[in-house]
């Protein structure tokens, strides 16, 4: 507009629109893999659309919704420069809160905030989210990538997501269904989950990269013992 400061642009503010567009192009094929029959439209719209008429098969469908992040586990992904698996953890954190209610995950959206958009990194994160959605059987119907120069450093990012599922009203799971004599079944985790990762992230700032990478192959319990034995030379943080 006339009289406007020609320097007042996104680029001048540190926001790279072209990099964002490139990231979207790179992630399209992965998002497409998550598509369910109920999803309308594709990537690029203002909102994701899901055909709710598919819920007619339910007598009394209840929608369950959850939102979560991966906490300080992003520090591990950034330290290892490994960005295409953190998305699976994000889906797990969100979907787990749906299935414990008895809900079938239907769809999910994500949010990525970063100091500088690196298309390959952002696309890698979304690739992991999409793979997690495929495993969970839910569609990735939308997302947002926000570039925050000055708030986050280049190379830093955080991720969050929200998911929606459906459950028949008379099949909702909850504490009220627990009865004396019920059997409690425990399953071993396939990896270190978000809980306790803050301890790992704390140690990562004090160990050389090679040593730290090797230690990542050990269990969370060994992490804790190792941290404790080194508490005189590293900052100790309690488990989350």
**Could you tell me how many residues make up the chain?**
240
Residue 28 and residue 216: Cα distance in Å, rounded? Answer: 31
Non-local CB neighbours of 168 within 8 Å, separated by 6+ positions: 58, 59, 60, 61, 62, 102
Sheet holding 61-69, edge to edge: 61-69, 157-168, 104-114, 139-147
Q: Kindly report, residue by residue over 175-214, the tens digit of the pLDDT.
A: 888 889 998 888 887 665 555 555 555 555 555 555 545 5
Domains in the chain, ordered, with CATH? 17-173 (3.30.1330.10), 197-229 (no CATH)
For residue 120, give the nearest of 76, 155, 70, 72 by alpha carbon: 155
pLDDT of residue 114: 92
Residue 70 and residue 82: Cα distance in Å, rounded? Answer: 15
Residue 30 and residue 194: Cα distance in Å, rounded? Answer: 24
Reported as half-sphere exposure (CB side, CA atoms, 13 A), residue 178 has a value of: 5
Token pair of 204 as six digits: 């990562």
Q: Kindly report, residue by residue over 37-49, the tens digit of the pLDDT.
A: 999 987 777 889 9
**Torsion region of 41: left, alpha or beta (phi above 0 gives left; psi -120 to 50 gives alpha):** left
CA 114 to chain CA centroid, Å, is 14
Residue 223 and residue 196: Cα distance in Å, rounded? Answer: 9
The pTM of this model reads 0.76
Token pair of 230 as six digits: 């080194």
Residue ranges in the chain modelled with pLDDT below 50: 212, 216-240
Token pair of 227 as six digits: 């941290």
């Amino acid at each position: 507009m006339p009289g406007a400061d020609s320097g007042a642009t996104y680029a001048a503010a540190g926001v790279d629109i072209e990099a964002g567009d490139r990231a979207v192009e790179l992630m399209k094929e992965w998002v497409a893999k998550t598509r369910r029959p109920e999803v309308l439209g594709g990537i690029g719209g203002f909102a994701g659309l899901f055909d709710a008429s598919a819920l007619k098969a339910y007598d009394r469908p209840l929608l369950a919704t959850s939102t979560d992040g991966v906490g300080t586990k992003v520090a591990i992904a950034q330290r290892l420069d490994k960005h295409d698996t953190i998305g699976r953890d994000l889906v797990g954190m969100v979907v787990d809160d749906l299935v414990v209610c008895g809900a079938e995950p239907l769809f999910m959206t994500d949010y990525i905030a970063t100091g500088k958009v690196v298309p390959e990194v952002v696309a890698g994160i979304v690739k992991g989210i999409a793979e997690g959605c495929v495993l969970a059987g839910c569609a990735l119907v939308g997302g947002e990538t926000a570039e925050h120069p000055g708030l986050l450093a280049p190379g830093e990012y955080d991720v969050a997501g929200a998911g929606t599922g459906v459950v028949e009203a008379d099949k909702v799971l909850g504490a009220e269904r627990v009865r004396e004599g019920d059997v409690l079944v425990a399953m071993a985790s396939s990896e270190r989950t978000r809980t306790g990762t803050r301890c790992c992230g704390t140690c990562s700032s004090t160990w050389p990269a090679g040593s730290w990478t090797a230690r990542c192959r050990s269990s969370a319990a060994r992490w804790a013992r190792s941290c404790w034995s080194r508490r005189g030379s590293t900052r100790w943080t309690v488990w989350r």
